[in-house]
Structures are given as structure tokens and as C-alpha cells.
């Protein structure tokens, strides 16, 4: 009956819970800056096949040739100093499959973040990435028996080169945008998942990403393939220490849902407020396939991320459900893209953003329906909640509909956490803080109810922390 989980732990903040860092004693660390030498070094260290080495170098050329985006928060983007970032850092010599083998300082970090505990409780497989490499990886035996492959991307490339070569970069080519080119040049870590036909992974697989070093770049690369009729749910979470300098996180995530397959990809992004989070995520859905992006952005300095679904086969369905919380100094520029290529495909985009104090949120969406794709349906809903007089939100919903036989619904709403709602709740005895939190929790409820219980509680707790000390 109650929808708002009760949360203890009041009064703790990001710095204490996630903002700590370990001494930077690393096994291998590339020199600062980006060059063909650094790319070469990464590829050699990983003993990659020639095609991947060439792919990386070509991608670097693309990155260098492409201008920075001229849209979005260009002022913030210009602050990125690509020469002052370390592109590859390996903390440990090898990957571990038991927590005991993980080096003490790294283990302490993940212990503090509650990862081993989460694995024991409710996950089918876990991968934990620290800086550039996956340091821990484990998967339940049943899954391996079912033929499910769940590896870090580097091991995926080594052990399943044929599958990787066939699909890598097919959904998001290196040249897609400047940051996908950057990722293609210096990628390291991330997950590789293959689920065989008609196989259901009943409990979620999880990846946890941690940046520890200062002025670091993390460029994980994830490829998930659900074969015909397969089903999988993947969850990722991320945190980093609080530094005064900025770090860069630029991931590429490709999902391939074959005929009748179902993929749900859930993200709880909680980077510290010194991280640029510039991520490209895209899925291709074949006939009758379903792809769902459940995307929560709480942290980072600037996020630019628009999870996309290409509905390639008839009756495919794509869904993007996102929330963004922009506190002081943060800009959450998020949204969704759906392309209807085939007939009778359907999509739904629900975007909720909260901007507090000087926080800024932007919804940027694109829905395309190709000529000849008949009987398509799409529904877009954006809700923005503003807290405080300085908070800002912008909505850029673009529709390119080249077909007449299509049903389009669009709804956008901006509301202010207002005096009337607060007065109503306070007149029932709730304190001002309690009332604000209740309103915000209610606002994100449609998102929270899609999360597994543990994540729902965690997310509500994060929001509670963000809401503390709101201006009245």
C-alpha cells in the first residue's frame, strides 16, 4: 500500500558515502593526453587482433577530425581539456573471480559501495570495473550452463572474437559522433553479453563502474546480444570520488534484440559532480522484439545522453523511461531517440526531470517514422519539476513523421514545486522537508516502480540526500 520506502541514514552525503578515493598506486598508467601512441599502447597491452587495433587508430583520426558538438551545453563542453586526461589506467594485474583475490584497497572500495552484498542478495552475475579494467567478475553457474555469455568486453573479444567482430560497432559506428569515436579509440572494459535463443535470464545481471583517479577518463564499451526469443535485464551503477578537477566518462552501449527478444537496460548514474558523462546508447530491435531503457541520472556535472531504439522489424516496441535530477551546478541534458523503420512498431518515451536551485535539465528527444512504416504508434511525455526560482528546464521534442498512417501523442508539462502543494501537506502535520521529499518522490514514482526493490530504495535514498537543505 505504501509507495514511499522509509529511509534511515539522514544527514550523510555523497562525499562520505561515495566521494572517498584510494591512493593512486597503479599497475599500469598511460601518460596523460591522447595520441596514436596511447591507442597503440592500449591495444598492445590487451594483445588485441589486428582488426581491432586498426579500428582504434581509425577512430582516433575520426575523433580528432570531428568538431565538438555545436548544440547542447557548449560552454560546459568547452571546459574539457582532452590533453589533461589519463585515458588508460589499470589498477591490478589481473581480473578476479572471487572477492578474496581482489586487491585489498579495491576490495575495500567495493565493500563500501555494497557491491558484494548486492551480488549475494539478488544478482545473477556481477562485473565491477575500476578505472579502465574490470577487476572482478562473477556469474552464476546456472547461466553458464544455459549458454549465456557474460564477460567483460576485453575477455569477450578474446574468447568470442567471431561474435564480437560481427556486431561490434554495427549499432553505433565509431564515426557516429565525436564521443563515440573517442570511445572506439580508447575503449576498455564494459560488458559483453550473449543470450542464446529462447533463453531467459530471470534475475538481473549487474555492472558497477567506479572511477578512482583524478583527471581520469573511463571509456567502457558494452555489447548485449539477445538472440531470438531471449530475455535479459542488465543493470549498471556508477560512482566516483569528489575532486575539484574534472574527469570524463564516455561509454558506448550497443544492444541487439533479435526476433522476439527482450532487453531491459537499467542505469542508475550517480557520478560525483566533477564528471562529464557523455554517453552513446543505442539498440536495434528486430521483429516483435522489445527494448526498454530505464535511465536514471542523479550525478555528474554534465550528462549528455539520449538512449535510442531503432525499430527495425515489424511490431517491435521501444521504450525509454528516464529521470534526471539536476542540483546546483549540474546540467542533465538527456532524452531519447526512436526511429520507426518498420510497420506497426510502437514506442513510448517518458521523461521526468527535477531541477533544483541552479540546476538545469534539458529534454532532447527525436522520434522518426520512415515513409512506408505504416500503423506505427508513439507516445512522448515529458514532465519537468522546478524547485527554487533559479531552476531551469528546456524541452526540445523533435518529430520527423514521413508517414500519414501513424498515431502520435505528445505531452509536455512543467510544474513548480509550489506553495499550494507544500501548504496542503504541511497543514497535515508534515514538516517542510518531509513535504518536499514526498512531492519529489511522488513525481518520480512512475520510474521508481520499474526498478528492482533494492534499487528503488537506494534511489529514494539518493533523492532524499539531494533534497536536504533545499531552499525554502
Partner 1 sequence: MTNDAKTVFTCANVRVWVADKDVVKGVDLAVRAGEIHAIMGPNGSGKSSLANGLMGHPLYRLEGSLTLNGEDVTGLSPDEKARRGMFLAFQYPVAVPGVTVASFLRAAVSARRGAEVPVREFRKELLEKMAQLDMDPAFAGRYLNDGFSGGEKKRLEILQLLMLKPSFALLDETDSGLDIDALKIVAEGINAAAQQDVGMVMVTHYQRLLNYVKPHVVHVFMDGRIVRTGGPELALELEERGYDWLEPVAAAGGA
Positions in 395-424 near partner 1 (CB under 8 A): 419-421, 423-424
Give the phi and the psi of residue 116 in degrees, each rounded to 5: -60, -35
Question: Interface with partner 1 by CB under 8 A: which range of 138-146, 167-175, 280-288, 426-434?
Answer: 426-434
Question: Interface with partner 1 by CB under 8 A: which range of 123-131, 300-308, 425-433, 455-463?
Answer: 425-433
> From the list 74, 97, 170, 431, which residue makes contact with partner 1 (rule: CB under 8 A)?
431
Binding mask 1-40 toward partner 1 (x if CB under 8 A, else -) reads xxxx------------------------------------
Q: Give me the residues paired with residue 235 across strands.
A: 206, 266
Choose between 245 and 434: whose C-beta lies nearer to partner 1: 434
Nearest Cα to Cα of residue 328 among 273, 275, 382: 273
Chain mean position to CA 119: 19
HSE, side-chain direction, 13 A CA sphere, residue 217: 28
Q: In what order do the strands lie in the sheet with 125-130?
A: 133-139, 125-130, 205-210, 231-239, 262-269, 290-297, 317-326, 346-356, 376-387, 406-416
Positions in 356-395 near partner 1 (CB under 8 A): none
Shortest distance (Å) from residue 438 CB to partner 1: 6
Check binding of 425 to partner 1 (CB under 8 A). yes
Question: Interface with partner 1 by CB under 8 A: which range of 28-36, 153-161, 331-339, 427-435?
Answer: 427-435
> From the list 187, 443, 463, 467, which residue makes contact with partner 1 (rule: CB under 8 A)?
443
CA 72 – CA 334 distance, rounded (Å): 10
Residues 6+ apart with CB under 8 A from 26: 89, 90, 91, 131, 213
CA 469 – CA 13 distance, rounded (Å): 12
Nearest Cα to Cα of residue 266 among 295, 231, 300, 226: 295
Choose between 230 and 324: whose C-beta lies nearer to partner 1: 324
Choose between 389 and 404: whose C-beta lies nearer to partner 1: 389
Choose between 61 and 445: whose C-beta lies nearer to partner 1: 445
| Helix locations, 309-431, DSSP H | 419-426
> From the list 444, 451, 459, 463, which residue makes contact with partner 1 (rule: CB under 8 A)?
444
Give the phi and the psi of residue 404 in degrees, each rounded to 5: -85, -35
Shortest distance (Å) from residue 441 CB to partner 1: 7
> From the list 430, 454, 461, 470, which residue makes contact with partner 1 (rule: CB under 8 A)?
430
Q: Give me the residues paired with residue 172 across strands.
A: none
Check binding of 441 to partner 1 (CB under 8 A). yes
Residue count, binding to partner 1 (CB under 8 A): 27
Choose between 294 and 373: whose C-beta lies nearer to partner 1: 294
Choose between 71 and 424: whose C-beta lies nearer to partner 1: 424
Choose between 70 and 427: whose C-beta lies nearer to partner 1: 427
Contact present, 363 and 397 (Cβ < 8 Å): yes
Check binding of 71 to partner 1 (CB under 8 A). no
Output the furthest CA–CA distance in the chain (Å, rounded): 69
Shortest distance (Å) from residue 468 CB to partner 1: 17
Positions in 98-117 near partner 1 (CB under 8 A): none
CB atoms under 10 Å from CB of 157, counted, come to 22
Choose between 285 and 459: whose C-beta lies nearer to partner 1: 459
Grid cell of 447 as nine digits? 520510474
Contact present, 242 and 273 (Cβ < 8 Å): yes
Chain mean position to CA 102: 25
Chain contacts with partner 1 (rule: CB under 8 A) = 1-4, 419-421, 423-432, 434-435, 438-439, 441-446
Amino acid at each position: 500500500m505504501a509507495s514511499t520506502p522509509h529511509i534511515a541514514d539522514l544527514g550523510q552525503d555523497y562525499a562520505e558515502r561515495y566521494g572517498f578515493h584510494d591512493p593512486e598506486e597503479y599497475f599500469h598508467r598511460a601518460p596523460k593526453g591522447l595520441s596514436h601512441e596511447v591507442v597503440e599502447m592500449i591495444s598492445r597491452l590487451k594483445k588485441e587482433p589486428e582488426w581491432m587495433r586498426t579500428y582504434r587508430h581509425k577512430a582516433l583520426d575520426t575523433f580528432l577530425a570531428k568538431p565538438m558538438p555545436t548544440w547542447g551545453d557548449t560552454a560546459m563542453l568547452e571546459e574539457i581539456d582532452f590533453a589533461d586526461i589519463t585515458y588508460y589506467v589499470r589498477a591490478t594485474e589481473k581480473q578476479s573471480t572471487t572477492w578474496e583475490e581482489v586487491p585489498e584497497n579495491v576490495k575495500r572500495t567495493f565493500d563500501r559501495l555494497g557491491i558484494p552484498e548486492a551480488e549475494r542478495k539478488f544478482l545473477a552475475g556481477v562485473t565491477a570495473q575500476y578505472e579502465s579494467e574490470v577487476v572482478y567478475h562473477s556469474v552464476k553457474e546456472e547461466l553458464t550452463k544455459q549458454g549465456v555469455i557474460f564477460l567483460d568486453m576485453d575477455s569477450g573479444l578474446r574468447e568470442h572474437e567471431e561474435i564480437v567482430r560481427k556486431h561490434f560497432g554495427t549499432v553505433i559506428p565509431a564515426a557516429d559522433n565525436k564521443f563515440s569515436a573517442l570511445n572506439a579509440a580508447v575503449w576498455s572494459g564494459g560488458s559483453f553479453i550473449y543470450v542464446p535463443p529462447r533463453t531467459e535470464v530471470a534475475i538481473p545481471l549487474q555492472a558497477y563502474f567506479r572511477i578512482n583517479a583524478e583527471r581520469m577518463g573511463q571509456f567502457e564499451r558494452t555489447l548485449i546480444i539477445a538472440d531470438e526469443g531471449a530475455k535479459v535485464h542488465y543493470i549498471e551503477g556508477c560512482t566516483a570520488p569528489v575532486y575539484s578537477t574534472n574527469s570524463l566518462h564516455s561509454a558506448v552501449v550497443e544492444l541487439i534484440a533479435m526476433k522476439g527478444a527482450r532487453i531491459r537496460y537499467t542505469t542508475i548514474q550517480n557520478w560525483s559532480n566533477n564528471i562529464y558523462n557523455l554517453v552513446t546508447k543505442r539498440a536495434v530491435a528486430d521483429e516483435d522484439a522489445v527494448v526498454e531503457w530505464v535511465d536514471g541520472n542523479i550525478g555528474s556535472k554534465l550528462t549528455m545522453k539520449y538512449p535510442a531504439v531503432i525499430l527495425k522489424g515489424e511490431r517491435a516496441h521501444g521504450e525509454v523511461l528516464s529521470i534526471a535530477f539536476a542540483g546546483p551546478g549540474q546540467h542533465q541534458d538527456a532524452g531519447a531517440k526512436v526511429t520507426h523503420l518498420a510497420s506497426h512498431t510502437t514506442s513510448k518515451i517518458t521523461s521526468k526531470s527535477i531541477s533544483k536551485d541552479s540546476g538545469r535539465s534539458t529534454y532532447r528527444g527525436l522520434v522518426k517514422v520512415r515513409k512506408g512504416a505504416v500503423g506505427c504508434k508513439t507516445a512522448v511525455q515529458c514532465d519537468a519539476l522546478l524547485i527554487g526560482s533559479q531552476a531551469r528546464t528546456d524541452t526540445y521534442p523533435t518529430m520527423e513523421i514521413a508517414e500519414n498512417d501513424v498515431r502520435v501523442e505528445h505531452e509536455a508539462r512543467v510544474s513548480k514545486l509550489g506553495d499550494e502543494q507544500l501548504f496542503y501537506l504541511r497543514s497535515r502535520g508534515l514538516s517542510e522537508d518531509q513535504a518536499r521529499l514526498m512531492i519529489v518522490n511522488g513525481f518520480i514514482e512512475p520510474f521508481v516502480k520499474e526498478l528492482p526493490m533494492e534499487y528503488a530504495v537506494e534511489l529514494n535514498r539518493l533523492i532524499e540526500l539531494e533534497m536536504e537543505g533545499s531552499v525554502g
